[in-house]
Amino acid sequence: MALPAYASPLERVWYYSFRTICGLIFFFLIAPIVIIIPLSFNAVPFFTFTPEMLSLDPAGYSLKWYEDFFTNLNWQGAVRNSVIIAFFATILSTALGTVAALGLSRPDMPFKTTIMALLISPMIVPLIISAAGMYFFYTSIGLASTHLGVILAHTALGTPFVVITVTATLVGFDNSLVRAGLMCGATPQRVFFKVIMPLILPGVISGALFAFVTSFDEVVVVLLVGSFEQRTIPWQMFSGIREQISPTILAVATLLVSVSICLLISVEWLRRRGERLRGITAT
Amino acid sequence: MASVTAAPEVMVTADGTPLKVSLHRALRRNKIRAFLLVLPLLAFLGFTFLWPIGVMMFRSVENSLVSTVMYRTVPLLAQWDETTGDLPDEAVFEALVQDVTEGFKNRTIGKVGTRLNYEEPGMSSIFRTSPKKFKKITEGPYKEKVIEAHKGWGDVDKWRLIKREGRPFTSSYYLAAIDRKLDNLGSITSQPAERQIYVKLFIRTLWMSALITGLCLLLGFPISFLLATLPTKTSNLLMILVLLPFWTSLLVRTTSWIAILQQHGVINDILVAIGLVSDDARLGMIHNQIGTVVAMTHILLPFMVLPLYSVMKTIPPSYMRAARSLGANPALAFWRVYMPQTVPGIGAGGILVFIIAIGYYITPALVGGTKGTLISNFIDYHMRVSLNWGLAAALGIILLGLILFLYIIYDRVVGIDNMKLG
């Protein structure tokens, strides 16, 4: 909506002030994420800009917090745990969620709304409630403070995202393709892998990314169900902020921002590819 | 007509079964097949998620501790008439001595003391000091010796309490969660003023969630409007500014707000540098409600922008132009023509943000201090610090009820099938 040539002065003022307001809101959204990047190269153990940093003196900057992150055993253990837990939770929730979404999208699925509500519920129920319930139950069956317990919990939290994204891709799915495949003599397995899978793949992958992020970013369940042995990166950050603030947290945060940029790019790319494949052009 | 329907020619399939039956079978087979695909996930969630929530519901009313540990005393107390104001008889006191001594040996009596202390402060100390003195009591008359050991046992109210909490289920956790308790004769009264915290906390949680939702709407509406009206290329570029925070770790965003808002943080440094605030009067913007509200507004803003944007995208710009050409000024055209069409988006985003805010834990725990904490922080406190799990469960179930109520509204307004991500 470019400003038309016949706009009155009042409209002109409003047009520019509206843009300025929007600019400020975008600044509010992005500034907190950008600001930690220079702070993580701080030479002193505070969360603040030192005079040396502001005068761009190289002595004000250092890589020691990154060095600490890559050498500190606590952080290395946290990275390992995060990757292991997120990996298995993603695989499990993607497999379970995709199969369930295929069932839900069939026209003759009984009790569809009720089942959908149940499957989505881990996303709606606040984490603290899920975590408390899991803590009570997992303690009683010996799953608390085990990697398996945290993986199962994260799988449960990740499945709604997979169900939602895969169901969304299946909305425009043409079932005659399946029938055509079967008529041409393919086995149902072959039809699944050669016909259905390539078409729903963008949904499956973006669901898997959501599940991965959910697990990778989750801390409440790890705090309650897990223990120090299951510490993940967010767990380490959470206890780090509570106990002793060290800019290593900012270094980790900067690294995590780069991870999220990669995730954002892949999800956006998948979304556009999916839209293109289904014939919905973005432009 | 009857003769026509009664005609013997029923349509059959190749193998001789009537067509209707065959069709019915095929439909049922399809239904079962569809259900079998969903079953693994349903079973998995049942075990890892739904059952635990059920366990928590049970925890919030379960009360077997007192009756298990004091298994001699509780059945005898059931026969005692607590309304007369007389102490229980000799047999009950004898049972008490045996139960307390055995419970002391098994290290369970302390838990009973803690449990009863939730209802009435002072019970814990009675149960802590009694076992040692009870050791000397080997024969009757028990009643006098017990009361001599601790005069608390001569108080009828204490016995009423034990009798009440000897029942297998209790409503006391729920009552405690709404600042009520049962008095000695079992009617509901308010907690003493200094223990009334939860109703205030629920109100504070609701109020702060509403404030955060309002702020998200205030900030989210203009940028959604801008994104929806700009050419696709520009808006896709600007969309990154919304999506990047959305994909960034929660803890990263909370950490950066700490760096920005703290006493020696970015904002205070700037204010001091330009002389607006003197160095010794730095603003306290963190570990209070301001910190929670600002950080949570930032974190939840994308959840408002995304549904608003997707609704605004579908509103044809020609409507506004039509209103303008019919003589409405821009403000009126916007208010009467554009705004009403964005209501579904406002509803969806608003309820979504409110639901997320009301159960939020991490950010208030880190930047909320004591004044900016929400109900979930207290659930966590009772789970991990005070170990009053019954109260934690009851608070959790009340919060869950609140959220399910909002969720049903969300379903009515938007429909869960329309939930979109990314």
Place of tokens 């994204």: A165
Q: What whole-number distance in Å separates Cα of residue B360 and Cα of residue B356?
A: 6
CB contact under 8 A, B258 and A155: no
Are the beta carbons of B361 and B295 closer than 8 angstroms?
no
Q: What whole-number distance in Å separates Cα of residue B141 and Cα of residue A94?
A: 70
Q: What is the mean pLDDT of residues A209-218?
A: 90
Confidence of residue B2 (pLDDT cuts 50, 70, 90): very low
Q: How far apart are the first and last CA of chain B?
A: 60
- Segment B15-58, tens digit of pLDDT: 878 888 888 988 888 889 889 999 999 999 999 999 999 999 99
Sort out which chain B residues have CB atoms less than 8 A from A172's CB and list them.
Answer: none
Q: What is the mean pLDDT of residues B259-281?
A: 83
Sort out which chain B residues have CB atoms less than 8 A from A7's CB and list them.
Answer: none
Q: What is the mean pLDDT of residues B370-393?
A: 89
Which whole-number Å values give the CA distances from B310 to A187, A239, B227, B318, B380, in the listed order? 40, 38, 10, 18, 36
Checking if the pLDDT of A61 tops 50, the result is: yes
- Segment B68-114, tens digit of pLDDT: 888 888 888 888 887 787 888 888 888 888 888 888 888 888 888 88
Nearest to B244 among A14, A18, A264 (CB): A264
The CA-based dihedral angle spanning residues B309, B311, B312, B314, taken in that order and rounded to the nearest 10 degrees? 120
Which whole-number Å values give the CA distances from B276 to B176, B273, B346, in the listed order? 47, 8, 37
Are the beta carbons of B48 and A152 closer than 8 angstroms?
yes
Are the beta carbons of B166 and B70 closer than 8 angstroms?
yes
User: Is the previous residue joined to B141 through a cis bond, with omega within 30 degrees of 0?
Assistant: yes
Q: What is the mean pLDDT of residues B305-316?
A: 89
Checking if the pLDDT of B183 tops 80, the result is: no
User: Tokens at residue A184, please?
Assistant: 């041409």
Spell out the residues 6+ positions from residue B204 whose beta carbon is closer than 8 angstroms to its own. B374
Checking if the pLDDT of A283 tops 50, the result is: no
Confidence of residue B419 (pLDDT cuts 50, 70, 90): low
Q: How far is residue B247 CA from its own chain's centroid?
A: 25
CB contact under 8 A, A132 and B222: no
| Percentage of residues in chain A having pLDDT higher than 70 | 96
At B329 the pLDDT is: 85
Sort out which chain B residues have CB atoms less than 8 A from A82's CB and list them.
Answer: none
Checking if the pLDDT of A156 tops 70, the result is: yes
Confidence of residue A202 (pLDDT cuts 50, 70, 90): confident
Confidence of residue B266 (pLDDT cuts 50, 70, 90): confident
Q: What whole-number distance in Å separates Cα of residue B343 and Cα of residue B346?
A: 5
- Segment B386-410, tens digit of pLDDT: 888 899 999 999 999 998 898 888 7
Residue B277: other Cβ atoms inside 10 A: 16
- 3-state SS of chain B is CHHHHCCCCCCECCCCCEHHHHHHHHHHHHHHHHHHHHHHHHHHHHHHHHHHHHHHHHHCCECCHHHHHCCCHHHHHHCCCCCCCCCCCHHHHHHHHHHHHHHHHCCCHHHHHHHHHHHCCCHHHHHHHHHHHHCCCCCCCHHHHHHHHCHHHHCHHHHHHHHHHCCCECCHHHHHHCCEEECCCCCEEECCHHHCCHHHHHHHHHHHHHHHHHHHHHHHHHHHHHHHHCCHHHHHHHHHHHHHHHHCCHHHHHHHHHHHHCCCCHHHHHHHHCCCCCHHHCCCCCCCHHHHHHHHHHHHHHHHHHHHHHHHCCCCCHHHHHHHHCCCCHHHHHHHHHHHHHHHHHHHHHHHHHHHHHCCCHHHHHHCCCCCCCHHHHHHHHHHCCCCHHHHHHHHHHHHHHHHHHHHHHHHHCCHHHCCCC
Checking if the pLDDT of B422 tops 50, the result is: no
At A99 the pLDDT is: 93
Q: What whole-number distance in Å separates Cα of residue A24 and Cα of residue A30?
A: 10
Checking if the pLDDT of B361 tops 60, the result is: yes
At B7 the pLDDT is: 52
CB contact under 8 A, A152 and B48: yes
At A215 the pLDDT is: 93
| Percentage of residues in chain B having pLDDT higher than 90 | 22
Q: What is the mean pLDDT of residues B207-225?
A: 95
- Average confidence score pLDDT of chain B: 86
Confidence of residue A280 (pLDDT cuts 50, 70, 90): low
Give the count of Cβ contacts less than 8 A between chain A and B.
275
User: Tokens at residue B202, please?
Assistant: 């629920």
Least confident span in A90-99, A125-134, A142-151, B13-22: B13-22
What ipTM is given for this predicted complex?
0.85
**A66-276 has which CATH code?**
1.10.3720.10
The SS3 of residue A81 is helix
Among B1-5, B222-226, B364-368, B413-417, name the most confident range. Answer: B222-226
Checking if the pLDDT of A103 tops 70, the result is: yes
Q: What whole-number distance in Å separates Cα of residue B50 and Cα of residue A115?
A: 13
Q: Where are the domains of chain A?
A: 66-276
User: Tokens at residue B239, please?
Assistant: 């969309």
Sort out which chain A residues have CB atoms less than 8 A from B37's CB and list them.
Answer: 99-100, 102-104, 106
Q: What whole-number distance in Å separates Cα of residue B101 and Cα of residue B214?
A: 59
CB contact under 8 A, A125 and B417: no
Sort out which chain B residues have CB atoms less than 8 A from A97's CB and list them.
Answer: 41
Are the beta carbons of A15 and B230 closer than 8 angstroms?
no
CB contact under 8 A, A121 and B42: no
Least confident span in A136-150, A268-282, B6-20, B52-66: A268-282
At B112 the pLDDT is: 87
Q: What is the mean pLDDT of residues A257-270?
A: 85
Q: What is the mean pLDDT of residues A35-43?
A: 85
Checking if the pLDDT of B417 tops 90, the result is: no
Are the beta carbons of B12 and B18 closer than 8 angstroms?
yes
Sort out which chain A residues have CB atoms less than 8 A from B421's CB and list them.
Answer: 161, 164-165, 168, 206, 210
CB contact under 8 A, B360 and A126: yes
Nearest to B257 among A32, A121, A156 (CB): A32
Taking CA atoms, what residue in A is nearest to B52? A133
**CA angle at residue B349 from B344 to B350, to 5 degrees?**
95
Domains and CATH numbers, chain B: 65-167 (no CATH), 198-418 (1.10.3720.10)
Checking if the pLDDT of B263 tops 70, the result is: yes
User: Tokens at residue B417, please?
Assistant: 């099938």
